[in-house]
Every structure is written in structure tokens, then in C-alpha cells.
Amino acid sequence: MSDPGPESVPHPPYDELRAAAGGDPEARKSVDALQAELQSDKPNPETVRQHASFLRSIPVLEARIANWFDDPNTQRWFLFITDSGL
């Protein structure tokens, strides 16, 4: 039986998150860092979780990031990178 390999990385709506963050520099910095982490060769699940949690704590971003992070495709990918140690 062959290894199915990693699922493609599910990306949140970065531009939408940045627009909703408005002038909040910490939120914009976290969106940029999340994007960089997800585009890296080996995304760190804990770093992804930290950025998602931080962004969820911002009321105008909460629903947008939750919709992405709680999506079944994102959760499957997250489980894969957590279990495989990528």
C-alpha cells in the first residue's frame, strides 16, 4: 500500500484577513507570518495553531479564521502534518 502523501495546504483568505484587520499592525503581522509559515517547505503545526488562535482573538477576524481553521479540509491537513512530523 502506498503512502497517499500530504494533502495540499489549505490557505485562508489572506487578503480578506488583511483588509478586515485594517490598521491593526499586530493582526497584519500575524497574517503575514501565517502565510509565510503555510508556504514554507515544512509548516510547523504549533506555529500555525498559534497564529490561528491569535487571529481568532480579534473580533473582526474571528469568524474568517475560524471558517478556515475549522474547515474539515484544513483539519485533515493539520492532522496529517501533526501526525507525520512534517
Residue 3 lies in a domain: no
**C-alpha 27: how far from its chain's center?**
13
CA angle 29, 58, 65 (to 5 degrees): 80
Looking at the 3D structure of the chain, how many domains does it have?
A: 1
pLDDT tens column, 17-73: 999 999 999 999 999 999 999 999 999 999 999 999 999 999 999 999 999 999 999
Among candidate residues 32, 70, 29, the one with its CA nearest the CA of residue 78: 70
Name which residue leads in pLDDT, 75 or 1.
Answer: 75
Task: Flag whether 23 is in a domain.
Answer: no
- The alpha carbon dihedral of 30, 34, 40, 42 has a sign of positive
Residue 72 covered by a domain: yes
Residue 75 identity: Q
4 domain residue, yes or no:
no
Q: Residue 34: how many CA atoms within 13 Å on its side-chain side?
A: 27
CA 19 from centre of chain: 17
Could you tell me the residue range of the domain that residue 71 belongs to? Answer: 28-84
